[in-house]
Structure 1
Amino acid sequence: MTPDMPPEIHPEFASMLLADGRLPVGGHTQSSGLEPALLGGLAEGDIPALVQTRLRTVVRVEAAVAVVSRHHVLAGLPLEPVQDAWAARTPSEVARAASVAVGRGQRRLTLRLWPGSGAATSLDALGTPARPVAVGAMAAAAGLDAARTARLVAYDDVQTLCAAALKLCPLDPADATAWLLDAGSAVEEVVGAVAHLTEPSGIPAPAAPLLEQWAHHHPTHSRRLFSA
């Protein structure tokens, strides 16, 4: 037995646990940028394109951050440089605040589920982890490898967006499920692009200025269902 991987938890089971939108970390408050996009003028028919754009930009950054965070926890390295790299690649303070809000819930859950683990120690020292930093630490505690970690981040983003679409748009739930399935190959592209990373300097920095702009203006809208 090791403190980071209880033998009774299989990595596949742990991956499903961490990908569950009902996890008590505040994920239900997020729409993966869909509500800001719709309020900013995105047409409902362009939602699948938004999914693909996020996978090429925001999600690729966050998956890389999670993979590098996992490596740092397992190697006994501090998470601060990874968090700094994430912040440098997330220009909008609104987007950063939304990520940290969920990261706090993930930190709390890690301290509860894996007390005394390297992940708990690292997150406790960091204090206010961003969402992908906390996910990477949780992945280390749960025994996920780098590819599963990246896949978890990418799947979670797409699934969150598709679930939010059912609340924000008049559409057939089967359509949203089809969007998730259609995103599978793009998710695997994200996995292949970031699973080998170990250093904060290797985290990619693709630009998504319109997504950032939508997120930045989102708090000014008086009728919102989601925080981001």
Structure 2
Amino acid sequence: MPAPELWLLADSRLPTGGHAHSGGIEAAVRHGLVRAPADVASWLAGRVPTTGLVTAAAAAAACALVGTPRARGEDASAPVARGVPSRGERSVDWAPWDTAISARTPVAALREVSRQQGRAMLRTVRAAWPAAAVDGLGTRPHQALVLGVAAAAAAGTPHDAAALAVHHLVGQVCSAAVRLLGLDPLALAGVHARALAEHGPVVGKASDAGTAAALADDPDLLPTATTPLPEVLAVLHARSEGALFAS
């Protein structure tokens, strides 16, 4: 059973700044590419296996790198003190991992978005999990790294971190679609649930890739999938005026 703290990380009310972002869907709505719940599902079908996979794998790697026994998968059934790193925890050089995420985020506007959300989440993690292994992340880390560290602090596993990353992406898109298009929240809740079920294999793939990269201490092993259209739209969105969401 997941630790209760992981439920907090999955709660949209957690102040991490995610409510200010649409997962890229605002630009798609503005250009007439998304109009109905089915379009939202199609948008997610392109985003989750690409950008979602990369982000989820990075979060899984960060969780594994923190070094708690549970995060390393040494004994997932062993009790872990909530938010307390293990005695054997090693220091992590986050710089190569930060660089790897930047390299997999070719659009400057999206790199900035990732760092904005990472900074907001970092403040929350420091307040909620004071013992979290955030040393060395810097003041503006990528969101995926902070999420992985937070998941480990909440007694989670790399798979949990990957699942949270996908959940955050899907939740951002669905909640933004309600606000942007006035769609039925119940219909979008259905889209959200079906997307999480449909893309369950992405979570497993991301968890495996992130854990393997962490064990090898090689960020080059992280996935490199991408989607050009949302990246182009992100550039247009960054230059637009009157946008409801920051991204």
TM-score normalised per structure 2: 0.82
Deviation for aligned residue 1:11: 4.1
Question: In structure 2, what is the equivalent of residue 109 of structure 1?
Answer: 124
Could you state the TM-score of these two structures normalised by the residue count of structure 1?
0.89
Residue 80 (structure 1) aligns with: 95
Amino acid at match of 1:100: R
Name the counterpart of 1:213: 232
Matched, 1:157 2:169: yes
Contact 1:30–1:226 at 8 Å: present in 2 too?
A: yes
- Picking from 117, 121, 129, the partner of 2:135 is 121
Structure 1 counterpart of 2:153, one-letter code: A
User: Number of aligned pairs?
Assistant: 216
Which of residues 145, 150, 166 in structure 1 aligns to 2:157? Answer: 145
Instruction: Name the structure 1 match of 2:64.
Output: 71
Contact kept? 2:3, 2:155, Cα under 8 Å: no
Contact kept? 1:114, 1:120, Cα under 8 Å:
no
Equivalence for 1:173: 185
Tell me the residue number matched to 1:3.
none
Distance in 2 (alpha carbons) for counterparts of 1:112 and 1:170: 35
CA distance in 2, matches of 1:151, 1:56: 13
Contact 2:109 2:235 in 1 (8 A): yes
Asked whether the 8 Å contact 1:107–1:134 carries over to 2, the reply is: yes
Q: CA deviation at 1:81?
A: 1.4
2:44 is aligned to 51
User: After superposition, what is the alpha-carbon deviation per residue over 1:43-94, rounded to whole angstroms, capped at 9, x for unaligned?
Assistant: 3132210011111111000000101111222253222111111100000110
Q: Which residue of 2 aligns with 1:61?
A: 54
Root mean square deviation of aligned Cα: 1.6
2-side partners of 1:226 and 1:23: how far apart?
18
**Identical amino acids, percent of aligned pairs:** 32
Distance 2:176 2:6 in 1: 21
Partner of 2:245: 226
Higher helix share goes to which structure? 1
SS of the equivalent of 2:15 reads coil
User: Aligned residue for 2:21?
Assistant: 30
* Amino acid aligned to 1:142: A
Q: Give the whole-Å Cα distance in 1 for the aligned partners of 2:12 and 2:131.
A: 26
- In the TM superposition, structure 1's runs of 4+ consecutive aligned residues that sit over 4 Å from their partners are none
Mapping of 1:88-107 within 5 angstroms? 88-107=103-122
